[in-house]
Amino acid sequence: MRFDWSFWLAALHEIPEEFVRIVAALVALCVFIPANALVLVYLERKVAGHVQRRPGPFEVGPHGILQTVADALKLVGKQLFRPYGADRVLFWLAAILAFAPVFVLFLPIPFGPVLTTLDVNLGLLLILAFAGVNVLSICLAGWSANNKWSLIGAARGVAQCVAYEIPLLLALLAVAFMKGSLNLSQIVQGQGNWPWQWNVVTQPIAFLVYFVCAVAETNRSPFDLPEAESELTAGFHTEYSGMGFGMFFLSEYANMIVVCAVAVSVFLGGWKGPLLPGSWWFLGKVYGLLLVIMWFRWTYPRVRFDQLLNLNWKWLMPLSIANLVLTAFVMKVV
């Protein structure tokens, strides 16, 4: 019997277009995220080196470009073991949960004029909601490791993430008020090609608050208490070896890209820019912000835990609320 092409072609047309888009995007993300993590880890070490006036990785490959590949191979090759007394299910679930939401977070981001997987009206909310899963994974990691320092590190990490989500949300809300939509593509469309046409001009305080909160959410210096504890006593991911740690590591860099992408889309004009195609501008701006985050890491000393929370509750929260009220007032009255 001959293969019935017409039946199967008709069946293919029945598949919803959104499904095909999402599958194609997930496949592309499976390449994009690890490739970016590779480049970012290398860039981080090189930037760290040059800020400290030393070469950074240099031996593995020309100028050390294969260093991250070697590190990844090392991580993959290590034994995965669970400490005695650690919760059987939660221990590995925490590692998986760290990386699981990352793919979802990338879906609403407008990489270019047509390169948006999920052009939904609640794109921003989707990102903020799934970023909360990262907090859960920190909590589970610290609890399930059966280690008092992991627990304390995780408790600090959770407190930090939960606290800094509020001004983050309020800053983004101010822009949503102005643009009237939580759809990232529409927010980008509402901005122009040139820097004076971007949202950062009309909402500078929101941008600063958002950026500080983003750095804190991703546990980056100077807010890297959950990670730094591993240098001092222990951190939430101390009991993980090999790829377990690799999951947390990868998810940190992926989350960095997500928060920078949101910052670029909401405040810095997204993919809009003169001359070059949109996606080049988008990636260029995201990498610019990532370099700034790395710059922060090698400039500022770590904040103490009480300073961290003070900064949030006494400064960022009132600032973001005031900004929101002012925005609402200006929108309605003026």
Partner 1 sequence: MTKVEALKQRLARIWSLIVGLKVTGTFFVSPQITVHYPRQTVRNMETFHGPVELVPRPDDPAKPRCIVCMQCVSACPSKCLSVVPKPQPRASAEGQEAHPKPAEAKGDKAAKKPAAKEPLKFMYDFTLCSLCGTCVETCPVGSLRFSHDAYLAGPDKAAFVYDLLARLAGQAAAGCGRAEDKGSARVDDRGAKGGV
Query: How far is residue 119's CA from residue 130's CA, in Å, rounded to a whole number?
Result: 17
- Tokens 């879906």 sit on residue: 107
Under rule CB under 8 A, residue 287 binds partner 1: no
**Interaction of residue 103 with partner 1, rule CB under 8 A:** no
Could you tell me how many residues make up the chain? 334
Give the nearer residue to partner 1 in terms of CB position, either 104 or 308. Answer: 308
Q: What is the DSSP letter of 198?
A: S
Q: Which C-beta is closer to partner 1: that of 58 or that of 287?
A: 58
Q: Could you say which of 58, 103, 177, 287 contacts partner 1 (CB under 8 A)?
A: 58
CA separation for the pair 334, 323 (Å, rounded)? 15
The residue among 13 and 53 lying less far from partner 1, judged by its C-beta, is 53
Choice from 194, 295, 313, 329 touching partner 1 (CB under 8 A): 295
307 scored as a contact of partner 1 (CB under 8 A): no
Give least dist CB 50 to partner 1, A.
5
With CB under 8 A as the contact rule, the residue among 284, 298, 309, 321 that binds partner 1 is: 298
Nearest CB to partner 1, comparing residues 22 and 47: 47
What is the smallest separation between the CB atom of 295 and partner 1, expressed in angstroms?
A: 6
For partner 1, the closer of residues 72 and 289 by Cβ is 289
> Does 204 participate in binding partner 1 (rule CB under 8 A)?
no
Nearer to partner 1, 50 or 304 (CB): 50
> Is residue 82 within 8 Å of 91, Cβ to Cβ?
yes
Alpha helices (H) in 180-316, listed in sequence order:
184-189, 199-202, 204-217, 225-232, 242-267, 278-297, 305-310
- DSSP for residue 246: H
Q: Does 52 bind partner 1 (CB under 8 A)?
A: yes
One-letter amino acid at 158 equals V
- Residue 293 · residue 256 · CB < 8 Å: yes
Residue 299 interacting with partner 1 (CB under 8 A): yes
Contact predicate 219/226, CB 8 Å = yes
Task: Give which of 159, 172, 85 is closest to 124, Cα–Cα.
Answer: 172
Cβ pair 110, 182 in contact under 8 A: no
Nearer to partner 1, 192 or 318 (CB): 318
Q: Which stretch binds partner 1 (CB under 8 A): 3-11, 247-255, 272-280, 290-298?
A: 290-298
Residues in binding contact with partner 1, number by CB under 8 A: 13
DSSP class of residue 301?
P
Q: Which residue has the tokens 């309020």?
A: 170
Q: Which is nearer to partner 1, 52 or 193 (CB)?
A: 52
The answer to whether the peptide bond before residue 222 is cis (omega within 30 degrees of 0) is: yes
Report in angstroms how near the CB of residue 298 gets to partner 1 at its nearest.
6
Interface of this chain with partner 1, residues 106 to 125, rule: CB under 8 A: none
- Going from the C-alpha of 219 to that of each of 41, 215, 249, 275, the distances in angstroms are 15, 6, 11, 36
Number of H helices, E strands in the chain: 14, 0
Binding residue (CB under 8 A) for partner 1 from 4, 6, 14, 53: 53
Q: CB of residue 211 vs partner 1: minimum separation in angstroms?
A: 13
Distance CA 5, CA 10 (A): 8
* Among positions 28, 51, 120, 169, the unique one binding partner 1 when judged by CB under 8 A: 51
- Residue from the set 2, 13, 54, 88 that interacts with partner 1 by CB under 8 A: 54
Q: What residues line the site for partner 1 (CB under 8 A)?
A: 47, 50-55, 58, 295-296, 298-300
